[in-house]
């Protein structure tokens, strides 16, 4: 993982049409060009291919990730897409987001298969956990600490507690640690100071391109 830090991830979840996504890119791309870390956009799956093409041809300094990947390899799995099918279109994949665990019943066995499929396809998994002692599959290098009470609630964890979680995680492995859960332009920098975490995973505040660019303007490790 040689991408400069902090990693700032926009997780669109099931939001935005193609036109809305293109309008977002128009506003965010110039700010991403000036940003010293790495911006990663995780759009809804139907747009991965087109947005990946667009950032490559236009030379936009944004990496593309998927919000999930199938636990299966290619085959008769209606509705799924295999990691090997989108190799080259994405650099990262979120695995084990708490919404996947909650609404789609993803357990440790399934998540381990997803991580392994990413690794085989040369996609960097970003493994989402909810606490410092949660299971992390072998070979994972980036973990995102996302306490469920903070996701989409406007009630983020404190930088102090996040620091304690991040330190514990780093004793478990040589991980880059991200924080996610109600990150906003007003609190983003408080999680990056003093190396509390190495980046941010942002849901709601990533949808508004002006909020997201405000985060990019302040986000730096210090």
What are the residues binding ligand PGA (CB under 6 A)? Answer: 11, 146, 151-152, 180-183, 201-205
User: Reduced to 3 states, what is the DSSP secondary structure of residue 95?
Assistant: strand
Break the chain down into helix, strand, coil percent, rounded to 5. 40, 20, 40
User: Reduced to 3 states, what is the DSSP secondary structure of residue 71?
Assistant: coil
In sign, the C-alpha dihedral spanning 65, 71, 73, 79 is: negative
Residue facing ligand PGA at closest CB distance? 203
Q: How many CB atoms lie within 10 A of CB 187?
A: 16
Question: Given the complex with ligand PGA, which of 83 and 205 has the nearer CB atom?
Answer: 205
Point out the catalytic residue in the list 97, 99, 106, 124: 97
Q: How far is the CB of 204 from ligand PGA (least distance, A)?
A: 3
Annotation marks residue 133 as catalytic? no
Tokens 């991580």 correspond to 115
Q: How far is the CB of 170 from ligand PGA (least distance, A)?
A: 21
Tokens 């660019």 correspond to 213
Q: How far is the CB of 15 from ligand PGA (least distance, A)?
A: 10
Question: Given the complex with ligand PGA, which of 86 and 215 has the nearer CB atom?
Answer: 215
Question: Given the complex with ligand PGA, which of 71 and 182 has the nearer CB atom?
Answer: 182
Residues forming the active site: 97, 146
């Amino acid at each position: 993982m040689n991408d400069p830090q902090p990693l700032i991830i926009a997780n669109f979840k099931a939001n935005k049409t193609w036109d809305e996504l293109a309008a977002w890119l128009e506003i965010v791309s110039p700010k991403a060009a000036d940003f010293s870390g790495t911006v990663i956009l995780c759009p809804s799956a139907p747009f991965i291919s087109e947005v990946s093409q667009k950032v490559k041809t236009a030379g936009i300094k944004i990496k593309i990730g998927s919000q999930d990947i199938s636990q299966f390899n290619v085959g008769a799995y209606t509705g799924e897409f295999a990691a090997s099918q989108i190799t080259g279109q994405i650099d990262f994949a979120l695995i084990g987001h708490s919404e996947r665990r909650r609404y789609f019943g993803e357990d440790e066995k399934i998540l381990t298969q997803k991580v392994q499929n990413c690794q085989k396809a040369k996609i960097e998994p970003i493994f989402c956990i909810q606490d410092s002692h949660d299971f992390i599959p072998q070979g994972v290098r980036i973990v995102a600490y996302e306490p469920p009470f903070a996701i989409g609630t406007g009630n983020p964890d404190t930088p102090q507690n996040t620091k304690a979680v991040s330190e514990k995680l780093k004793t478990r492995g040589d991980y880059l640690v991200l924080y996610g859960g109600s990150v906003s332009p007003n609190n983003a920098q408080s999680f990056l100071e003093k190396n509390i975490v190495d980046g941010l995973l942002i849901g709601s505040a990533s949808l508004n391109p002006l909020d997201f660019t405000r985060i990019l303007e302040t986000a730096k490790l210090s």
